[in-house]
Each structure stands twice: as C-alpha cells, then as structure tokens.
Amino acid sequence: MKGRGTMSKKLLSIRDLSVDYNTEISRVYAVNGLSFDLDYGETLGLVGETGAGKTTACLSIMGLLPEGIGEVVEGSITLDGEDILRVPDSRLRELRGRTVSMIFQDPMSSLNPVLTVGDQILEVLQEHNKGKKKEELEKTVDNMMELVGIPANRKNEYPHEFSGGMKQRIVIAIALACEPKLILADEPTTALDVTIQAQIMDLMMELKTKMNTAIILVTHDLGVVANFADRIQVMYAGEVVERGTTKEIFNESRHPYTWALLRSVPRLGSESKKELYALGGTPPDLLLPLNHCPFADRCEYCMPICKECKPKETALSDTHKVSCWLMH
Ligand code: SF4
C-alpha cells in the first residue's frame, strides 16, 4: 500500500486560511492566515494551548465547521489535488472517510451507544463501497478489529462493554476503515490514562507505517509529539508562531512561546525538586483582530515594537521558521 499519491504533489496544501466564528456576542477571529503543506505519509504535530485554532483548522479541512457559525473567510485548502472549499457537499461527503478522517478527542462521545461496534465500522465501509456485498465488508470489519488489537468476535458488543482505551481503538478502526490518505487526530489520547496513551500512539504509528497514511496530530502537549511527529507547528491565538522539524523545535527553538511549552513538559529523572513551570496569563481575546504579536502580553522578552506590529516570519533554515521580533 506504500507509495500512494504522486511524490511530487503535496497531499495537503493550506494557504492563508482565516476562519471566523459568528457568535451572538461578536465575531471571533479563530484562525488567522494559516499556511502549511503536508506530504503523503508525513506526520505533522500541531501544538498549542486550547483556543490556538488547532481544532478549527482540522474542522475546516473536514468541512465540518459548525453550520451558520464557523466561516472560512479567506484562503484555500487543497487536499489530494482538490480545492475542498469549492467542491459541492456531495463530493465532500465522498472525501470524508475515503481521503480524510478525523479521530476526535473523546472516544466516549464519538461512538454511537445503541449500535454495536462492528456495525459502526460497517456503516462507514458501506457508505464508501456501495457496490460491494455485505459479507465482503464484514470481513474488512473483522480485519480492522484485529488490526487495532481487538478480537473480531467482540464486534457484536456495544461501546459501553469496552474500556476507554479499547473505545479509542475502535474509533481509530472506524477512521482507518476506508484507508484514508490523511488522518486528523485531535488530542486522540487526552481522555486516556498514561499507559493507554502510549499504546494508542504506538498503534497509530504502526498503522501509519503499514498504510502510508499522513497524520496531523493535534495536541497541547509537546511531549506527545516528540516521538511521533516529523515536523511540528506551534500555534498561538490562531497563528503559527514557530515551525520546524521535530529536532529543530526541541533542540533549536527560537520563539518564547515554544520555550514556555518546552519548559512545562515534565521530565523523568530530573533531579530538580522545583515546581513544574506554568506559563502565566491567558491567550488574547480573539474578538478583535490582532495587529501586534499575539504573545506580547505574556512574553518576558516583550519590546515596544512587539505591541505595535506583527513580526514577519523569519526563515532560519528551509524547514525552521519563526515569527518573533527577537529574530530581527
Ligand atoms: Fe515576545 Fe516580542 Fe517575540 Fe512576541 S515578538 S514573542 S512579544 S519577543
């Protein structure tokens, strides 16, 4: 299954994406000018605090922004050669599941409690394989269950009969059922305990290698992406403030917000008895467009210019880019 797609073409290309939410109180500028590419089979970590715009970016790729509230106001999203902001809804439904799938944060609410887990995997397969016989698809259900480490003879059980970790495995089986080219994993392990977290991440990476699936791994925790991502983008207040290979972000980070995230990762074996670092303050109010550095109010290196205008992105290498006045 390796080698899907054309190597010269990007699987995903996002350009100048801006997304707003129209709430009853005001307009919220959730994502502002987001641009990035993703190759076939690549894993990209999207890291940042709650409200950084990570999930909104993923929902835009899925075409699942809340109707009448979320709105892409600018930009383009090209997925496997198709401009998905301009395709009809019927085409978008075909792409969901077959080309792109999403694993949501909470397995407890992602599954339908009144359908057996086998039927939930089958449902997705039937939607995308209209000509195939049910018996044939049932075999794929069994294979998917085994692939995620759950015996196929449990397919007639209901979600409440499984533990949290097993439920998330089933959610992954549903997401992978049609062998999508891209998986958006939105905090896939947040609701699980630490040992299960590691198992789920290992499972996802194993499946990724088997199926050459690209993954966008969304998390607030740099520790989670350290072992799994090829590249990392650090997001803050709807913008990417630093991007680079995993090595560049962990060993040569240059943005004060990335430093703060790194300092707040607990380290095993650390001799220091000091309290774990916590970044003070809160992210800025996104009810008004930001015309200065979004991190200015919380940054210990803030200079007058930081509150006057936005820093342009500085390229430190082909892959490592930083938006901070300290680079100028
Ligand atoms: Fe801090 Fe200024 Fe850099 Fe923003 S631009 S992160 S306020 S130093």
Q: What is the DSSP string of 100-117?
A: EEEE-S-HHHHS-TTS-H
Report the residue count for the chain: 328
Mutation test residue for ligand 1: of 326, 327, 328, the one with most atoms within 8 Å of CB: 326
DSSP category for residue 169: H
| Nearest C-alpha neighbor of 206 from the set 172, 178, 233 | 172
On whether the CB atoms of residues 78 and 87 are closer than 8 A, the answer is no
Test site for ligand 1: of 310, 324, 327, 328, most ligand atoms within 8 A of the Cβ: 324
Q: Which residues contact 119 (CB under 8 A, 6 or more apart)?
A: none
pLDDT at 220: 84
pLDDT computed for residue 265 by the predictor: 80
pLDDT digits (tens, 9 = 90+) for 29-43: 999 999 999 999 999
pLDDT of residue 86: 93
Rounded to whole angstroms, the maximal C-alpha distance in the chain is 68
Residue 44 belongs to what H/E stretch?
A: strand 43-47
Helices (H) and strands (E) in the chain, counts: 10, 12
What's the confidence (pLDDT) of residue 264? Answer: 84
Q: What is the DSSP string of 234-267?
A: EEETTEEEEEEEHHHHHHH---HHHHHHHHTS--
User: In this structure, are strands 43-47 and 231-236 parallel, antiparallel, or unpaired?
Assistant: parallel
Q: Yes or no: say if 171 and 107 are a contact pair by the CB < 8 Å rule.
A: yes
Amino acid in the structure at residue 58: C
Q: How far is the CA of 249 from the centre of ligand 1 (A)?
A: 17
Instruction: Report residues of the chain scoring pLDDT below 70.
Output: 1-8, 268-273
Which tokens hold the place of 50? 């709650």
Question: What is the edge-to-edge ordering of all strands in the sheet holding 182-186?
Answer: 100-103, 182-186, 214-219, 43-47, 231-236, 239-245, 321-323, 313-315
Best of 303, 308, 321 for a ligand 1 pocket test (most atoms within 8 Å of beta carbon): 303
pLDDT in the model for residue 270 = 61
Ligand 1 site residues, Cβ closer than 6 angstroms: 256, 293, 295-296, 299, 301-303, 306, 311, 324-326
**Closest by alpha carbon to 237, among 190, 275, 290?**
290
Q: For residue 255, how far is its CA from the centre of ligand 1 (angstroms)?
A: 8
**CB-based contact 285:295 (threshold 8 Å):** no
Tokens describing residue 122: 């089958």
Taking the centre of ligand 1 as the mean of its atom positions, its distance from the CA of residue 306, in whole angstroms, is 6
SS3 75: strand
Residue 182 CA to residue 185 CA, distance in Å, equals: 10
So what's the pLDDT on residue 206? 84
H or E element in which residue 98 lies: helix 89-98
**Shortest-distance Cα residue to atom 3 of ligand 1:** 324
In this prediction, residue 326 carries a pLDDT of 97
Could you tell me if 195 and 182 are in contact, meaning their C-beta atoms sit under 8 angstroms apart?
no
DSSP 178: T
Q: What are the pLDDT digits (tens) for 10-27?
A: 999 999 999 999 988 889
Closest by CA to 226, choosing from 47, 58, 57, 34, is: 47
pLDDT of residue 10: 92
- Nearest ligand 1 atom to alpha carbon 301: 8
pLDDT at residue 8, as a whole number: 52
